[in-house]
Chain A
Amino acid sequence: MRAAAVGVALAGLGIATYLTIVHYAGGTPVCAVAHGCAVVQTSDYSELAGVPVAVLGLGGYVAVLAALARDGEGWRTAAAFLSLAGLGFSAWLTYVEVAVLHAICIWCVGSALCMVALSSLTVVRLVRGSGMPVA
């Protein structure tokens, strides 16, 4: 389960890295859905308190990977917390894409799916513990 979570976090890290590079290069992401990525990437919602959302995502995935690198109840709790926070923020951004911007960025959707998977894995890992039977 930990290996699966690391794999998902690495996939999310790849997406966030790409979006960060595109953000600072001033370009627009390659997007299969016409216009969506550029609209999202250039909207006012692409930054949070002046920090690009892509950079926040990058930092979030790095933090999750750091938490997954070690075992123990505290680290499992940290990984679950970070993943759930990422999931919540991804859900908000997806709502903004659909309801406010009327544009879908496939990279953002990809990252949101990574957060869904990551949250599921880290929550189950936290509840189950390190393989120790609980019942």
Chain B
Amino acid sequence: MSKQAVLERRRAERIARERAERARETRTRRLWRLGAVAAAAAVLVAGAIAVSSGGGAKPAPPANTSSLLAGIPEHRGVLGDPNAPVTVTEYVDLQCPICARAAQSTVPALIRDDVRAGKVKLAVRTLHFLGPDSVRAARVAAGAEHQGRLWPFLEAFYARQGAENSGYVTDGFLREVSKAAGVDAAEALGQADSAFATGRLDRANADAARMGVSGTPTLTVKRGDGPERALAASPLDASAVQAELDREAAR
């Protein structure tokens, strides 16, 4: 090999080494940069989580669950003046968390503003499609209705609602709910397998099918003996529900 060729080869090897070195440095720099970026992102997310975790899953139950319903008559599971011109029916599943939310926001507003004023009476249909806990809860709710305490029972149930289908609706749980609602627990649980309770569940299914209810909660409105129709407003939006009821009343 000539001297010129040797020099050329050494030059090529040096250039290749320098390129490889530069590439290594670039890759190292980028990996460090990625690490710094990931660390900065982690710090940002940790801060966001610290702020976010100050939130809660559910609103606290009302301090006094009986004050909302105090003095309002309940007749055959319908809350309010039996002569109220408008009937609002709520289709619920007692296990449904959003029903609990509606029961702690929209429904109290309705009771305070319309039911108490004698403008609206509230009915409920306890659907039971989420699981066996829903069926048991709906049956014992029928037992509470039999004692004229359905609405206090619903209120107490929602305030203690557990995770869907976790098996929390035990007899012990239902006794606790009954006690909080002023319901005779033994009688209500005894009513759970009665024809009355079965009738209430069948009626809920039939009415939901007739109205095409596909989810809970669903609110419907009926003026006098007129047709029942589903409210367009979200059951979680108390002001929208109120506005729609006001329009209904103005018809």
A residues at B contact (CB < 8 Å)? 26-28, 34-35, 38-39, 42-45, 47-49, 73, 77, 80-81, 84-85, 87-89, 92, 96, 100-103, 123, 126-127, 129, 132-135
Binary interface profile of B, 29-46, with partner A (CB < 8 Å = 1, else 0)?
Answer: 011011001101110110
Check A49–B34 contact: CB distance below 8 A. Answer: no
- B23:A88 contact, CB within 8 angstroms: no
Known: A28-B236, A48-B48. A84 touches B38 (CB 8 A): yes
- The answer to whether A126 touches B33, judged by C-beta atoms less than 8 angstroms apart, is yes
Q: For residue B82, which residues in chain A have a CB less than 8 angstroms away from its CB?
A: none
CB distance from A112 to the nearest CB of B (A): 13
Return the contact of B97 from the options A35, A80, A92 (Cβ within 8 A): A35
Report whether A88 and B52 are in contact in the complex, using a CB–CB cutoff of 8 Å.
Answer: no
Q: Are A129 and B31 in contact (CB under 8 A)?
A: no
Chain B binding surface SS class: helix
In the complex, the chain B residue whose C-beta lies closest to that of A44 is: B55
A26-B237, A81-B37, A101-B57 given as contacts; is B26 within 8 A of A134 (CB)? yes
Q: 25 pairs across A/B with beta carbons < 8 Å?
A: A26-B237, A28-B98, A28-B234, A34-B215, A38-B234, A42-B98, A42-B236, A45-B55, A48-B52, A49-B51, A80-B37, A84-B38, A85-B45, A88-B44, A88-B45, A89-B49, A92-B52, A100-B57, A101-B57, A126-B34, A126-B37, A134-B23, A134-B26, A135-B20, A135-B23
Distance in angstroms from A22 CB to nearest chain B CB is 10
Contact of B240 with A134 in the complex, beta carbons under 8 Å = no
Pick the residue among A39, A80, A103 that contacts B34 (CB under 8 A): A80
Report yes or no: A39 in contact with B237, Cβ–Cβ below 8 A.
no
A42 and B237 alpha carbons, distance in the complex (Å): 10
- Shortest distance between the CB of A125 and any CB in chain B (Å): 10
B96 part of interface (Cβ distance < 8 Å): yes
CB distance from B148 to the nearest CB of A (A): 30
Contact A42/B45 with A28-B234, A80-B37 known, Cβ cut-off 8 Å: no
In the complex, A34 Cα to B57 Cα: how many Å? 17
Say yes or no: is B56 at the interface (Cβ < 8 Å to chain A).
Answer: yes
Task: State the Cβ distance, B23 to closest chain A Cβ, in Å.
Answer: 5
Q: Nearest-CB distance from A87 to chain B (Å)?
A: 8
Cβ contact within 8 Å between A89 and B37: no
A28, B215: Cα distance in complex, Å: 12
Query: What is the CB-to-nearest-CB distance from A78 to chain B, in angstroms, rounded to a whole number?
Result: 9
Partner among B20, B37, B41, B97 whose Cβ is within 8 Å of the Cβ of A39: B97
Q: B9 to chain A: which residues have CB within 8 Å?
A: none
B-side contacts of A123, CB under 8 Å: 34
In the docked arrangement, what's the CA distance between A21 and B97, Å? 23
A134–B19 Cα gap in the complex (Å)?
A: 9
Are the CB atoms of A92 and B57 closer together than 8 Å?
no
Across the interface, name the chain A residue whose C-beta is closest to B30.
Answer: A127
Question: Closest chain B residue to A123 by CB distance?
Answer: B34
CB B52 to nearest CB in A, in angstroms, measures: 5
A39 nearest CB across to chain B (Å): 5
Shortest 8 CB-CB distances between A and B: which pairs? Answer: A44-B55, A88-B45, A84-B41, A85-B41, A134-B27, A81-B37, A102-B163, A26-B237
For A47, the chain B residues whose CB sits under 8 A away are 55
Distance between Cα atoms of A73 and B38 in the complex (Å)? 16
